Amino acid sequence: MSLGLQRGVCFADKHLHHQALRRIEQADREEAMPLEDGLGMRQLAKALFAVVVARPAKAVTEGRMRSSGPRTPSLQTGRWTTVEAIAMVDIAHWTCPTCKVIVTTPFCARCGEEPIAPRTLTLRGLVEKVIHALTSIDARAARSARTLLRHPGELTLAWTSGVRKPYVAPFQLFLIANVLFFALQSATGENVFSSSLDSHLHHQDWSELAQSFLSQRLVATNMTVEQYEPLFNSAVVMNAKSLILLMTLPFALLLPLAFLREHRPFMTHVVFSLHLYTFLLLLFCAALLLAKLSALLGLGGLDAPMVDNVLSMAILMMCALYIYLAIGPVYGAMGARRTVKAIVLALAAAAIVLGYRFALFFITLFAS
């Protein structure tokens, strides 16, 4: 149903438009006839004209239609009720409960507070708020993920430039990817970060060092490997989920060294790092699905060296490509230096992932 904003009318029923004009003319001839709710005929007529004819079209373009009270006419009748019209008039002057100042806009300019309408305190109002919050987050998350994957660097550039309303915050987007990754890891039974004790002892580059430290830990706790292994395996999964943010910090510290001449604020490096590792988590999600498919086909999962090596190389190449495309718009990198920096930073990101798994072993070993 067209709302007719181009014609300056917020609904299709033109009859109400002319009716409002007639009521204003009638009110000019009559002296403010009092209504049951205490609003004069002249004031109400002008309020109706301002609310249902002129104000909505302008408010839509300025993004000012968001308030806790109803702002749109009924889709069945195309008309505003008297209570809704009065609510729109009353919103012109209200006192912010937080700042204790008189406000003449739908939102407080200091803190963003909005006036409380009676409908907000009802069950229906609560349900509407919850539905709006959920759908708003979903829409922004989908838009953020799409921009992250299709246009590397633009999401970082938009966030650091102040364009933040259409997108999810970098840390929040990272957490969403984190939840998705660990949900898939649990569903597929494959492990990327939370490697088992047996994997640390026999299938990692630091296996000899791990065996040495494990022996010392078993002596200190007076336990056997069979007794300690279940404790370690359950603890490492929890630590991998809660400490995964640690990967982003070393990379954020490397970026100022790689782009010394650009003099970007440190927050730019932090946001870039969060977006990069969000992208890597999404790549790991795809790798988990491919590893599970490979296992179903009889080729083995991530425990098979061939599958692990192929997926690792693919992730490394995709990481380098993402960094190459992203550092252009964010840091203005160009030419051969852009290629070299992309390769070096991709190798650094991979090293940080391996270092994170290595750190998880020692954190879990001495904390469990």
pTM beyond 0.75: no
Measured torsion, CA atoms of residues 350, 352, 356, 359, in degrees rounded to the nearest 10: 130
Band of pLDDT at residue 8, cut at 50, 70 and 90: very low
Same domain, 36 and 178: no
Overall number of domains in the chain = 2
Q: 172 pLDDT exceeds 70?
A: yes
Residue 113 located in a structural domain: no
Report helix, strand or coil for 94.
Answer: strand
Same domain, 190 and 330: yes
What is the Cα–Cα distance from 181 to 176, expressed in whole angstroms?
Answer: 9
Least confident piece of the model among 31-35, 216-220, 260-264, 296-300: 31-35
Same domain, 47 and 157: no
Q: At what angle do helices 225-242 and 335-367 cross, to 10 degrees?
A: 140
Residue 147 located in a structural domain: yes
What is the Cα–Cα distance from 30 to 39, expressed in whole angstroms?
Answer: 14
- Which residue in the block uniquely carries the two structure tokens 């759908």? 135
Residue 106 located in a structural domain: no
Residue 185's nearest CA partner among 243, 248, 247, 241 is 241
Residue 157 located in a structural domain: yes
Determine the structural domain holding residue 79 and report its residue range: 5-92
CA distances from 48 to 41, 43, 51, 120 (A): 10, 9, 5, 23
Same domain, 227 and 325: yes
Residue 104 located in a structural domain: no
Residue 22 located in a structural domain: yes
Same domain, 231 and 304: yes
Report which of residues 116 and 82 the model is more confident about. Answer: 116
Q: Where would I find the H helices in the chain?
A: 14-29, 41-49, 55-62, 82-90, 123-150, 154-160, 170-188, 197-202, 207-221, 225-242, 248-258, 266-296, 305-331, 335-367
Q: What is the pLDDT of residue 80?
A: 45
Same domain, 212 and 359: yes
Same domain, 68 and 167: no
Q: State which of 35, 60, 92 marks the end of a domain.
A: 92
Residue 132 located in a structural domain: no
Q: 146 pLDDT exceeds 90?
A: yes
